[in-house]
Amino acid sequence: MKSLVSKLRAEAARAEDVVHRHPRSLAGGVVAVLIGFAAAAAAVAPLAPDASDLPRRLISEAVQPEDVAGQLEVLAAHDLQWYRNDLTRSGDSADGLLRRLGVQDAAAAAFLRGDAVARKLLEGRAGKIVNVKFGENGALAELTARFAIERGELSATHFNRLTVRRAEGGFQAKLEVAPLVAQVRLGSGTIHSSLFAATDEARMPDAVANQLAEIFSTDIDFRRELKRGDSFSVVYEALTADGEPITWGSTGRVLAAEFVNNGRALQALWFRDPATGKGGYFGTDGKSKRRAFLGSPMEFSR
């Protein structure tokens, strides 16, 4: 082993001596080797074709336009349909409600006044959800109103649906009962003047604002400690009639909420014990939001 190491050292010393005695010859040899490698690479690498040598092909195809006059006739014959919605107001008349919705149809207004079923649209409480479909000339094609069932066992779980449709020779009205459907919705808002104003701007029911105030009543006095710029985000159940949140009755439960008050973020989650069936709100730390002392002991209301 020692003799092999000695031989390697001797060869290395000899090579170093050659480099010192013949530097130019050695450099020339290295350059020659590099040129050889470059030539070999150039010979192996394929050359890209000249773009001017590539074949060219011209394709010509005649385009025949459709009959423009025929298209204009079809468009002129097509009756555009418009859709609008609103809520009934106290003191609404048939003419005033239709006019507010963009409908200009004296026959439809007369039908709403005279038909026993259609008259229910303007009877009872205001706040009925009304959707209309009408043509370019303002003639009513269809009206649908959704509103609460005033009394009875179905008042909490169902709603009335009134439909008025244009039929041959006039209009037809139909009243049916349909079930309310609970949907999970997300809402958020920022306090500018009051909590209720913020929930109104976010199109959230008053019941959600009341639940927010109750959930965080142990941490915030909602009468004194709300600040401009405070914000909230809420996941809640909304009762819907044909997919639209109802404007009457109660709202479903708040499932989760965050309230940022004066830079302090508060969270609450609804948890229901499957064994007992009872539930309550808890913070992310696992502690119950229900405590003996409330930050706002008086019930919060608009």
Low-confidence ranges of the chain (pLDDT < 70): 1-49, 291-302
**Edge to edge, what strands does the sheet with 170-179 contain?**
81-87, 129-135, 140-148, 158-167, 170-179
Q: Which residues pair with 172 in a beta bridge?
A: 165
Query: DSSP letters of 38-92?
Result: HHHHHHHSPPPPPGGGS-------------HHHHHHHHHH---EEEEEEE--TT-
Cα four-point dihedral sign 90, 94, 96, 98: positive
Look up residue 153 and give its DSSP letter: G
DSSP letter, residue 288 = B
CATH class name, domain 181-282: alpha beta
Which residue is it, tokens 């109660």?
250
Closest CA to 141 of 198, 98, 180: 98
What are the φ/ψ torsions at residue 123 (nearest 5 degrees)?
-95, 160
Strand partners, 181: 240
Taking only the tens place, the pLDDT of each residue in 203-233 is 888 889 999 999 998 899 888 899 999 999 9
Handedness of CA 113, 114, 115, 116 (dihedral sign): positive
Chain-centroid distance of CA 217 in Å reads 30
Q: What is the pLDDT of residue 146?
A: 98
For the chain, what are the domain ranges? 2-41, 79-179, 181-282
Looking at residue 64, what is its pLDDT?
79
Beta bridge partners of 258: 233, 267
Question: Residue 14 — φ and ψ, nearest 5°?
Answer: -65, -40
Tell me, what amino acid is at 262? N
Neighbours of 226 (CB within 10 A): 19
Size of the chain, expressed as the number of residues it contains: 302
Tokens of 97: 């409600």
Matching CATH topology for 79-179 and 181-282? yes
Q: Which value, to the nearest 10 degrees, does the dihedral of the CA atoms of residues 284, 218, 190, 245 take? A: 80
CATH number listed for the domain at residues 79-179? 3.10.450.350
Six-digit token string for 45:
């690498």
pLDDT at 123: 95
